[in-house]
Every structure is written in C-alpha cells, then in structure tokens.
Amino acid sequence: MYHIALKMLGGDRTKFTTLILGVTFTAFLVSFAVSYFCGFMTRGFALISETPGDIWVMDPAVSSVEQTTNLSESAILRVRSVPGVSSAMPLLLGSAEVRFPNGSFQSFQIIGADNSSLAGLPRTEGLNYPALRQPGQVMVDDGGTENKLLTPLHAADIWPRDGRSRTGVAMRRLANGDQLELNDHRISIAGVSNTHPRYPAKPLMYMTLANAHRILPAERRQISFLLVSAAPDINPQTLAARIEQQTGLKARTASDFKTDTVHWYLLNSEDVGDVMSMLILAIAVGFGVTGVMLYMFTSESLKQYAVLSALGTLPSQLLKMVFLQAGVCGLSGAGIGTGLCAVADLFLHESDYPFRMMWFAPLAGGGMVILTGIIAAVFSARPVLRLEPATVFAGR
C-alpha cells in the first residue's frame, strides 16, 4: 500500500512538483527569517566577539554592551587582587558628537582601550597601532553604516574659513591623516578598520584611555568594563563567580555576556520587535501555503482513496498512506529549502547583510514544515476516513 501511496503522489508530476516547490518555499522562508534574526543578534554582541578577554567585569546593574554605567578606578585593583586573575584591562564605552571637516556632525560610539596593551582595539592588518598612543590619534570604523565616514574631496571645502557647512560638495572616504573635531580638539585618523557590523549600526571611534581622558568631557569615572584574562588552568566560570564574591561587581564570561546582551535586546529593542514580526509572518505564510497545498492534494485524490476503500483497504491503511504522502513531501521540501538557505549563507556570509545561519535555523525551517505537514495530514485524513466506498460507483 505504501508503494501505491507513493505512485499516487508522483502520478501527476505537475501537481507533485508544485507541492514540493510550495513546501520548499516554506522551509526556505522560515530558515531565512530565523537566520536573518540571528544575524541581527550577532551584530548586537560584535564588540564582545572582537574584544579579547575571558571575563567581562561590570557594574551589577549592567546587562549588555548597549546600556552601561562606569566603574571607579579602584575596581581595577580590586579585580586584579582576586586569585586566578592573570590580567585585568580597562575598557571605556561612550558616545560623542564629532564634527567633520565640511562642518557636518555625526554621532560616534567611543571605545577607549588600555594604553599599554591596546586591548579592545580591532585587529586589522596594515594598521599602525603604536601611533594610537600618540596624543590626538584615533581609529575609526563605519560600524555597519554607509556613507558616514566622508570628508570633502577638495581642500577648499575642508574647514572653511567662513564657518559655513559644505554639505553639497564632492566627498571621499576618510583616510589616514584626515582630521576631525571632538570637544574642541582636533584629532587625526591613524587608521580605518573594518570590523564586524554593529547592531544598531553606528560609526565607531577607537582611542587609548589616555586620549579619551584628554579629549572627552571630564568624568570622575571613565571605566565601563574590565577585561579579565584567567590564569592558566583556571576555569573562567569559576573565576567569574570568585570575582563577584570578592568584589561585589558583576562578572560574566564572554559567552554568558553574549547571552545577556541578546536577552537585553529581546526585551528592550523596538527593532527586534519588527524582526520578530517578520519571522512570525514568514511562519504564518509558510504554514498557510504548505497546509493548503497538502490538503488540496489529498482532496483531489479522494476518488483514488474511494477505489482503494471499495477494494477492501482498511481505514487505518488509508490513514497511513495520507501521512506517508505528507511526510515525503515535508521531508523532501524541508531538505531542499534548508539547503537553498545554506547556499544563500555562503553568498551572504562575506557581505554586510545581517544573515547568520545557526545550527537551529534548519531545525526551525524543517520542523515547521514537518509540523505543518502533520496538521495538514490530520485535516486531510478526515474526508478520507469518512469516505464511502460507494462514492466511486456513484461517479462522484
């Protein structure tokens, strides 16, 4: 009987192909939407991924890199005194309005790194990192934005003497040696990095803590995080608990802090709500397309089921045939759809598109298709089970 069910499924190649394409579309749509959502979330903790450190130490009220409050200078000594700590480097996060040579303004996220180790700066080949220790030297990054790091192409439009903004002139990308203005200080570009895009997208400016203290508005506390490296043979999870116990500060391993940041975005970001709405819409559309097509296929095969019933086929066998057809369509479409999503991941991985196919994305796409197939099979089985064998003889 299973062989007959498969023959019925592939008997009409046009309908079978259309059904597989519909299921494939559902699996691809759901997998793509999940991967798109994951791409946004991985951008949210890009700073954690690109910054060395086994443990992040912060104020107990901090739950992400997006919303911070600074620590006192004494926190460094308190953390370094904890047994098992190999090093503890300060990191500053802030924001500032930066004036460009044409007179326009742009908000930057400021990242201040340790003066000696430069821990917290992105590693990019060809950058002159020692130059960043010189006064007024910074490194910039577009942080996932477009056309934000631009300066006038012609010298006549750079720092115009009349003080008027040159917003409509020809522009070029910032390069080494260009100057910006921050808090009435002229700062020079020592390098332009290309880090992982951020969420939310924002231009980035890296500098040493010494330059940050010199350029930024004076604050009593100018340390946002401490980047702790564990001593050899020391478990970071155990060391984080020890730091919390002895200092009263919050200490999270890098992986735990990524999780905290994702949870924070899920609870506080309005953009995440928009992405979630897109994901729910993709699931709903996929559910409707797959469910309706499977139900219509079974309905159009009622005459064949009536013939089988008239020949003595048990209702339980007919039920198994319906579920077999739904299972074959679901598994085939799920495999093709998630495979196409994996191919898309290969092409989008090197671009700035927020797309990251995690291990659970194929499970979500395939699982949704299989669940839809089961539900559609249940509804499709009802007219099959209620079918009278005399239907075939009545010409209906």
Region 198-208 average pLDDT: 91
pLDDT in tens, 31-76: 888 888 888 888 888 899 888 889 999 999 999 998 899 999 999 9
pLDDT in tens, 299-321: 777 777 777 777 777 777 878 88
CA distance 188 to 71: 28
Element (H, E) at 393: helix 390-393
Q: Identify the bridge partners of residue 173 per DSSP, sorted by sequence position.
A: 150
Please report the DSSP string for 64-104 in residue order: SSSS--PBPTHHHHHHHTSTTEEEEEEEEEEEEEEE-TTS-
Of the chain, the percentage scoring pLDDT greater than 70 comes to: 96
Say whether 376 sits in a helix, a strand or coil: helix
Give the pLDDT confidence score for residue 2 in this predicted structure.
67
pTM (two decimals): 0.79
Give the pLDDT confidence score for residue 331 in this predicted structure.
87
Torsion sign, CA atoms 144, 264, 277, 22: positive
Decide if pLDDT at 252 tops 70. yes
Q: Identify the bridge partners of residue 166 per DSSP, sorted by sequence position.
A: none
Decide if pLDDT at 240 tops 90. yes
Tokens 């940050």 locate to: 212
Say whether 303 sits in a helix, a strand or coil: helix
Length of the chain: 396
Region 357-366 average pLDDT: 85
Strands (E), the chain: 55-58, 85-99, 105-113, 137-141, 150-152, 171-173, 179-182, 185-192, 204-208, 225-230, 250-253
From residue 252, how far is each of 50, 240, 273, 328 by CA, in Å? 16, 6, 26, 46
Region 237-262 average pLDDT: 95
Least confident of 69-83, 214-228, 373-387: 373-387
Decide if pLDDT at 391 tops 70. no
Give the pLDDT confidence score for residue 228 in this predicted structure.
96
Least confident of 234-238, 328-332, 374-378: 374-378
Position 232 confidence tier, pLDDT thresholds 50, 70, 90: very high
Give the pLDDT confidence score for residue 91 in this predicted structure.
95
Please report the DSSP string for 337-358 in residue order: HHHHHHHHHHHHTTSSS-----
Give the pLDDT confidence score for residue 390 in this predicted structure.
64
Give the pLDDT confidence score for residue 270 in this predicted structure.
75
188: Cβ contacts below 8 Å, ≥ 6 apart? 136, 137, 138, 177, 178, 179
Decide if pLDDT at 263 tops 80. yes
Decide if pLDDT at 287 tops 70. yes
Decide if pLDDT at 223 tops 60. yes
CA distance 170 to 129: 30
Give the pLDDT confidence score for residue 80 in this predicted structure.
95
Give the pLDDT confidence score for residue 370 in this predicted structure.
81
Mean pLDDT of the chain: 86
Torsion sign, CA atoms 170, 172, 176, 181: positive
CA distance 23 to 293: 9
Give the pLDDT confidence score for residue 188 in this predicted structure.
95
Decide if pLDDT at 388 tops 80. no
Say whether 128 sits in a helix, a strand or coil: coil
Position 198 confidence tier, pLDDT thresholds 50, 70, 90: confident
Taking alpha carbons only, the member of 56, 8, 112 closest to residue 251 is 56
Decide if pLDDT at 393 tops 70. no
Give the pLDDT confidence score for residue 221 in this predicted structure.
87
Please count the other Cβ atoms lying within 10 Å of the Cβ belonging to residue 140: 23
